[in-house]
Each structure stands twice: as C-alpha cells, then as structure tokens.
Structure 1
Amino acid sequence: MGENKHIKELDDFSKKYIKDIDTEKLSPEFTSELMKKIQVLNVYKVQPFTPLISKKVWFLIGLLLVAILSIPFNSNEESILSVPELDVTFLNKFQLSNLIESVSISNTTFSIICLFGLMIFIQFIYLKKYFESRIH
C-alpha cells in the first residue's frame, strides 16, 4: 500500500510540473533546415564503392577453377600434376594396416585437399598482416 501512495505522489508531482512547462514553437522552416544539415553530414560520410572481391582475386579464382577442371578424374589419364604416392609401411608396427589399406583417396581428392590447405595457409598469412596493419 505504501508503495502505491509513493507512486501516486510521483504521478501528481510530474503532472503538476508538466502543465507548467511551456511548449516550444518551432519555426516553419525547421524541417527543411534540419534536412539540409543532415544532407551536409551525409556528404562527408559517403565513401566510394569498393567491391568485396577485387578483379585480381576473381582472376585468381578463375585460374584456380581452370586448373581444377584440367586435372583428370580417371586414373587412366595422365595428369598435369604428378601426386607422389605415400609410403606408409611404418604403420605395420601399429597394427592399423587393415584400416589404412581400406582407405583409398583418388588423385583428384588429394589435389583438392592440398589446394584447400594451401589456400587456408595463405588466408592465415593475409589476415595476420591485415589485422596487424589495423592495430598499428
């Protein structure tokens, strides 16, 4: 009950002072003047459009796609890139030979995995330099 009385007193107090406050009269050109000021501020903030992916990067992506499509998908064809065969004879000591021998990866898949790893490595280097330049 005491809380409601306190709220009622605050309400009466605020109503009394709100009635005493004079309302300001705005000039007839207030809106147009405000819009002019906003336009002036926006002119300074406008930056030229820069694409997210530059033309050089699109060119490299195109070359990468051509390189991937030129790698043959059949093992009978000769490939541009020779993928070395892995020597895993040391794994016989671990008795995992049955598991390893049952897994087979095609040359195309191996090439794509290597390319993906290389691109992630390049991104790490690029992003590291980018964020270091932003800090300093």
Structure 2
Amino acid sequence: MEENKNIEKLDAFAKKYVQEIPQEKPSVDFTASIMQSILTENTYATNVFKPKALITKKGWLLIIGLLLVAIFVPFKQMKEYSFSIPEFDFSFFNKFQMPNFIESFSVSNIVLYAVFFFGLMIIAQLVFLKDYFDKRVY
C-alpha cells in the first residue's frame, strides 16, 4: 500500500514538472540543416569505406602461375633434381567388390538441360546482384 502512495506521489511530481518545462520549437530551417548533416555524413562514410579485393591481381597471377607450373611441369623431370615422388600401389582396390553404380546410372537430357540452365541463372544472378550492390555502395 505504501509503495502505491509513493508511486502516485512520484507520478504527480513528474507530471507537474513536465508541464512546467517550456516546449521547444525547431528553427525554420531545421529539416534542411538535418538533411545537410546527413549528406555530409554520407560523403564522409563513402570516403572511408572503399571495398578492396581479398586477393589482388598480383595474387591471382601468382596463383594461376603456380597452377600452370604444377600442371605443365612433368614430374619425371623433377627426379633429376633429387626430388622423388613416392609410387603407391593401389592394386588392393581390386579386392573390393563394389557394384558399378555409375554404369547403371543414367540421366535424362531434360535433367541435364535443367542443371545447365540452373547454373546459367545462378551466374546471371551473381553478376546482376554484384552490380546492384556495387551501385548501392557508391
């Protein structure tokens, strides 16, 4: 009971002093000044945020070069440089009797066309979405 009286007194006190506070009116050019500050803030934010690629062009060239070297350099020539690749015997795979799923598995042309066009649509969406988000950032 006593808590309710304290709450009522506090509520009456707050209402009295809130009514005494004079109302502030914004200036005539309040909206224009807010929009100007938002505009300056946006220009500052675009100067700060500059997207960069995770892998630079030099990095991509290095990766592609290493892949090409790994593909086109014959491994037998590497033995001359005292680098030998161990030879593994995979003949133990012949002991496993597994049914030939791949030979009995067939895919219709419609499914192949659907997968092909689905892949094309995913690539198209990636291109358009990247363009959309690039325009949104700038």
Fold shared per TM-score above 0.5: no
TM-score, normalised relative to structure 1: 0.44
User: Which structure has more helix as a fraction of its residues?
Assistant: 2
TM-score, normalised relative to structure 2: 0.44
Larger RCO (CA within 8 A; separation ≥ 6): 2
